[in-house]
Every structure is written in structure tokens, then in C-alpha cells.
């Protein structure tokens, strides 16, 4: 393949290769690190920890999701750096950003820097936050007993004091470097950092001072969030909070009890009304397939009834997340009879939610890369 195009964009550098038509595109951040590469069959995403993740189809046409082994990642990094070397003259000054790297530095060196910046891995984000700056105001989840969830089972819930948080923010800023230009907002992690109450306020200020001009988002749970007064959410809005993602999971109380998910769906209406009055945009997450075949109809019908009652607007999104049992969780051990065709069930849910006039998007946790 030959070089067809070089695009020196403000936030990235894009190289396009092919013969008569584009066959491969390599996108690099302003530190010169590849972050997204695709060809006609597959796409590769690089995490901030240096690891490479491939998405596409295998030889039999089945969906492919895989984290590459070290030898595989080093081989691809070397291939992409060789391609960039061919484009050195066309790259001009940006060639120095890219060609200073080695495959080992991209994988091993950046992995060490990532682990120094993030004491615990970033386990999950809402899809619209994949390109946010993630700052861990807390570790873990205050509840951490939902039967289906394994995101935070490896860590106790802890909060960071302002001094420790400031050190963390500086380490993240150094890790991102000029790659910050790709990042859209700030996401305060882990599972429910907003449960901190007043202790979160100085952390908001530190985050916004380090990354000015970016709004904040976070996960939020009904269980702890509904205990806060309306004025609390207005205060957070005034400090830069703009979006919250709530794991509703289902509108069926009996299913929520099966999932050991705290909170009652009836409490969601006043809670959502309070958040909307504060000016916040919502991301409501529902677990499609939860409870398996026995709960299939009640799960959908009661979730739709709940959504129809909520004061949602065009700025809000309903996320539909297919529940894929995680090995080692109580849900997987219980092994409920699964919904027969989960993809078809997702389509059924999406069509039903759209008929309510709401925005809906798929949220597949297997696609997550930070």
C-alpha cells in the first residue's frame, strides 16, 4: 500500500494508505500514539494502558472482540510505526511526535504510566464518556452487591481526599499529555462518586481547574441519590456537573429484587424530576435480557411504563445494555433460562422505547475501551 493522504488535524494526525482506494487508516493523538486504526475488515483501539483491542469479524464471519497478546500488539505497533516512517516527509514536524516511539514504549512504557496514574483500572463508562478524562474521586461502589455486576469486586469502596485527588489528577494530565485534545469532558469515577456528599465539592473544583472548559459527568444510583435535597443537584450543576448515568436496570420491582439492586422504581419519578429541574441530562441504563426468559415480558412492559412516566427530553438517552452473565457472579451461578435471541430482544426494546419518543442507544459493555 502507498500513502494516499495525511491529515494534520488539531487533535490528531490521520494517515490513509491504499492502492487505488483507502484500505487502512491510522489515527494518532498529538503525543504520536496510535489510538484507532481500521482497515476494510477490522478496527483496533488502543487503551491508555497501551493494550490493543480488536473488533470486527473472524474468518467464519462471527463477531470478533479480543484483547491482543503482547507479541501481537508489538507486531502491529511496529507495522504502524513503519508505515508512519514512510510518511515522514509528508508529516513534516509531526513526524517527530510519532517516530520517537518504539513498540515497547507504546505497550510496556505507557502501561506502567497508566498504572501509576490509575490505582485501579477504569472498569466501565457510559458510551458517550469513552473519550472523557476519567478521574477517580472514589474507588469501587458503595453497594457492590448486585448479583450481575463484577466491575468493582476487586476493590473496596474508598474516597480520595483533596490532596491525593490532586496528585492523581496531575498524573492523569501527564499521561494524556497533548492527547488531552481528544478528550471531551471529565468523568468522575468509580461507580457512584456522587454519593460522597459535601466531600465531592473540592474535588469538582480541582478537576475543573486542571481541565478548564470541560463539563463533568458521573454515575449515579437511585439508592443514595434520592436521599439528596433538590438544592444539592443545583449546587453540583453550578459547579459544572452536566450529565449523570443511572443504572435503572428494570422497571420491574421483582426483577430488581432478584438482581439484588437497591431502590424501588416508584422512587425514580420524583428523583428524575428533581435532577431535570436542576438542569441535568440523564443517561438511563436498562439491562436487556436480565432475569432471562421468566422475566422477559414483565421486564419490558414495566420498564416501558416507567419510562413513559418520566419527564425526559431530547438531551436524555435511554441506554439498552445486553446482559451477558459474567463468570463468577451470583447471577451467572444461578443460570436463569436465557432470552432465546438477545439481539432480537434488543431490537424489540429499542423499537418500543422509540415509540415513546425517546432517544435510545445500544450500550454493550464488551465494546468498552478507555
The predicted pLDDT at position 252 comes to 98
What is the CB neighbour count within 10 angstroms for residue 156? 9
The predicted pLDDT at position 19 comes to 93
The predicted pLDDT at position 140 comes to 93
The predicted pLDDT at position 6 comes to 97
Q: What is the mean pLDDT of residues 347-368?
A: 98
Cα distance between residue 174 and residue 168, in whole Å = 10
Nearest C-alpha neighbor of 26 from the set 6, 41, 11, 9 = 6
The predicted pLDDT at position 44 comes to 98
The predicted pLDDT at position 214 comes to 97
Q: How far is CA 231 from the centre of its chain?
A: 28
Residue range 232-265, pLDDT digits in tens: 999 999 999 999 999 999 999 999 999 999 989 9
Cα distance between residue 50 and residue 45, in whole Å = 10
- pTM for this entry: 0.95
Determine whether 307 is exposed, middle or buried from the number of CB atoms within 10 Å of its CB (0-12, 13-18, 19+): buried
Residue range 174-195, pLDDT digits in tens: 999 999 999 999 999 998 899 9
The predicted pLDDT at position 59 comes to 81
How would residue 61 be classed by pLDDT, with cut points 50, 70 and 90? confident
The predicted pLDDT at position 4 comes to 97
How would residue 2 be classed by pLDDT, with cut points 50, 70 and 90? very high
Cβ atoms of residues 130 and 184 within 8 Å? no
How would residue 303 be classed by pLDDT, with cut points 50, 70 and 90? very high
Determine whether 340 is exposed, middle or buried from the number of CB atoms within 10 Å of its CB (0-12, 13-18, 19+): exposed
Q: Which residue has the cell 483533596?
A: 162
Residue range 110-151, pLDDT digits in tens: 999 999 999 999 999 999 999 999 999 999 999 999 999 999
| Residue spans per domain, the chain | 2-112, 118-367
The CATH fold of domain 118-367: TIM Barrel (3.20.20)
pLDDT(171) > 90: yes
The predicted pLDDT at position 299 comes to 99
How would residue 60 be classed by pLDDT, with cut points 50, 70 and 90? confident
The predicted pLDDT at position 58 comes to 84
Amino acid at each position: 500500500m502507498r500513502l494516499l493522504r495525511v491529515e494534520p488535524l488539531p487533535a490528531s494526525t490521520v494517515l490513509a494508505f491504499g492502492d487505488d482506494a483507502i484500505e487502512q487508516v491510522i489515527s494518532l493523538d498529538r503525543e504520536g500514539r496510535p489510538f484507532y486504526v481500521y482497515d476494510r475488515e477490522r478496527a483496533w483501539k488502543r487503551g491508555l494502558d497501551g493494550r490493543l483491542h480488536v473488533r470486527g469479524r473472524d474468518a467464519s464471519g462471527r463477531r470478533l472482540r479480543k484483547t491482543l497478546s503482547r507479541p501481537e500488539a508489538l507486531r502491529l505497533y511496529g507495522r504502524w510505526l513503519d508505515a508512519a516512517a514512510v510518511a515522514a516527509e509528508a508529516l513534516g514536524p509531526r513526524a517527530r511526535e510519532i517516530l520517537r516511539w518504539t513498540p515497547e514504549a507504546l505497550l510496556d512504557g505507557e502501561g506502567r504510566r497508566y498504572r501509576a496514574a490509575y490505582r485501579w483500572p477504569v472498569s466501565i463508562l457510559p458510551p458517550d464518556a469513552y473519550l472523557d478524562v476519567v478521574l477517580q474521586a472514589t474507588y469501587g461502589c458503595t453497594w457492590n452487591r448486585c448479583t450481575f455486576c463484577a466491575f468493582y469486586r476487586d476493590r473496596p469502596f474508598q474516597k480520595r481526599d483533596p490532596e491525593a485527588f490532586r496528585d492523581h489528577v496531575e498524573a492523569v494530565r501527564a499521561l494524556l499529555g497533548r492527547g488531552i485534545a481528544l478528550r471531551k469532558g471529565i468523568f468522575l469515577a468509580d461507580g457512584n462518586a456522587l454519593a460522597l456528599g459535601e466531600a465531592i465539592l473540592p474535588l469538582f473544583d480541582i478537576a475543573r481547574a486542571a481541565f478548564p472548559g470541560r463539563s463533568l459527568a458521573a454515575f449515579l444510583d437511585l439508592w443514595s441519590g434520592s436521599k439528596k435535597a433538590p438544592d444539592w443537584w443545583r449546587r453540583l450543576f453550578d459547579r459544572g456537573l452536566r450529565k449523570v448515568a443511572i443504572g435503572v436496570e428494570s422497571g420491574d420491582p421483582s426483577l430488581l429484587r432478584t438482581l439484588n439492586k437497591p431502590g424501588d422504581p416508584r422512587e425514580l419519578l420524583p428523583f428524575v424530576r428533581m435532577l431535570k429541574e436542576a438542569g441535568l441530562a440523564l443517561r438511563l441504563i436498562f439491562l436487556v435480557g436480565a432475569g432471562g426468559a421468566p422475566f422477559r415480558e414483565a421486564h419490558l412492559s414495566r420498564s416501558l411504563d416507567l419510562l413513559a412516566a418520566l419527564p425526559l427530553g431530547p438531551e436524555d438517552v435511554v441506554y439498552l445494555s445486553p446482559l451477558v452473565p459474567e463468570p463468577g457472579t451470583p447471577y451467572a451461578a444461578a443460570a436463569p433460562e436465557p432470552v432465546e435471541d438477545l439481539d432480537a430482544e434488543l431490537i424489540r426494546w429499542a423499537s418500543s422505547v422509540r415509540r415513546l419518543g425517546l432517544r435510545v442507544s445500544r450500550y454493550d459493555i464488551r465494546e468498552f475501551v478507555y
